[in-house]
Amino acid sequence: MKHILSSPSPRLAPVEAPRRVSVLGSTGSIGRNTAEILAAAQGRFEVEALIANSNAALLAEQARALGARIAVAADESVGDELKARLAGSGIEAAAGRSAVLEAAARPVDWMMAAIVGIAGLEPTMSAIAQGTRIALANKECLVSAGACFMAAARRANCAIIPVDSEHSAIFQALGERQGKEAERIILTASGGPFRTFGVEQMATVTPEQALKHPNWDMGAKVTIDSATMMNKGLELIEAHHLFGLEGGRIDILVHPESAVHGMVEFADGSIIAQLGAPDMRTPIAVALAWPDRMAAPARRLDLVELGRLTFEAPDEKRFPSLRIAREALGEGPVATAILNAANEIAVPAFLAGRIGFLDIPAVVERTLERHAGDFSGAADSLEGVLEFDRLARATASELTASLSQD
């Protein structure tokens, strides 16, 4: 991933009325790409807040480059370093959970929600309460709290614009129709690095192997989710909430070229697809400029060089995460919150070498089985979601600990 200042992009033409924006997760993969586009479009956007976890050096550099009003680190331990790096700049610096929530609630026109995992839920909900237009790059907000998240957006008349490449593709293909005439939507998957591996091969996969995605440059958590295909399971649940379609009308196809990002089939049999190079700067630019379009320093898709488009059905026996996620969606919002929590425990356990690759979906499924009695509970509030998240994490942690001792 390019550093924000290492390769300046061509300046884009300014507009008369700058759009005020904030970025949650500015030092992560999506956040860095967002910062690059904002830097290229100076005059078109004004940056209110940049919020990150603990990378004070990059956060301060981004804040200076983009002229942000405030930079916030979630990790209180880097607060002094952040203030020192921004000394004399006139940019406010803060750290800690309350500072994150305050910055997220500042009035802006648009916010990129790109904090990975359940950690992004509370600050994004703070922004929604202000009626802020949300560019959503965090799958887990909808997987864990889809019902209350979308209800809050409706109450605040807040537009949610998807940034995941697949959901952005569906959003673009639907256009003004937004699901009214859609029979089904199709999400595509690269298949990850182990698309052709057998189960025995996957049993010996190392974290280093799993982190080598064939097409995309992403953070560690998302890359491992791609390798297990849990990311497609999460995206299935996300699509259900974004587009209002039941799970049976959402299909997944493996598409190794990663050129077609999503398709919509309409009632008359027509299928509209969105294509592009595997470059997250395109869906970020779509969300930034919506309902208009803007230039972006993204790679262009060369169809002649590409040569072909291939599709195949996913193998849910080798990649059980897809089946587990679809079943969780059928069980309801408590089950999907538990699914997400267990996965967020299992993935770092694998990366740390404490469990095997195939143990990731096993831990998720066993956590769901243990909490099946909770599926009828209420997950229609932030507090309720976080309580189920806490319970599931405790169970998944117990299961990973027992596996690491075997």
Which strand (E) or helix (H) includes residue 217?
Answer: none
CB 352 within 8 A of CB 193: no
What residues contact residue 354 under an 8 Å CB cut-off, 6+ apart?
Answer: 400, 403, 404
What residues contact residue 142 under an 8 Å CB cut-off, 6+ apart?
Answer: 136, 149, 150, 237, 238, 241, 242
What's the rounded Cα separation, in Å, for the pair 32 and 66? 12
Helix (H, G, I), strand (E, B) or coil at 281: helix
Half-sphere exposure of 106 (CA within 13 A, CB side): 23
Q: Any idea of the CA torsion for 131, 135, 141, 146, to the nearest 10 degrees?
A: 70
CB 287 within 8 A of CB 344: no
One digit per residue, pLDDT tens: the chain, 406 residues? 232 232 333 343 444 469 999 999 999 999 999 999 999 997 899 999 999 999 999 999 999 999 999 999 999 999 999 999 999 999 999 999 999 999 999 999 999 999 988 999 999 999 999 999 999 999 889 999 999 999 999 999 999 999 999 999 999 999 876 556 789 999 999 998 999 999 999 999 999 999 987 776 678 898 999 999 999 999 999 999 999 999 999 999 999 999 999 999 999 999 999 999 999 999 999 999 999 999 999 999 999 999 999 999 999 999 999 999 999 999 999 999 999 999 999 999 999 999 999 999 999 999 999 999 999 998 889 999 999 999 999 999 999 999 987 6
Q: Tell me, what's the pLDDT at 217?
A: 67
**Would you put residue 353 in left (φ > 0), alpha (ψ -120 to 50) or beta?**
left
DSSP state of 372: G
Task: Give CA separation, 78 vs 56, 84, 286, 384, in Å.
Answer: 6, 10, 33, 31
pTM: 0.90
CA-based end-to-end distance of the chain: 37
Task: Give CA separation, 290 vs 66, 202, 267, 320, in Å.
Answer: 21, 41, 26, 36
Q: Where are the domains of the chain?
A: 19-162
Q: Tell me, what's the pLDDT at 3?
A: 29
CATH number corresponding to 19-162: 3.40.50.720
Q: Tell me, what's the pLDDT at 110?
A: 97
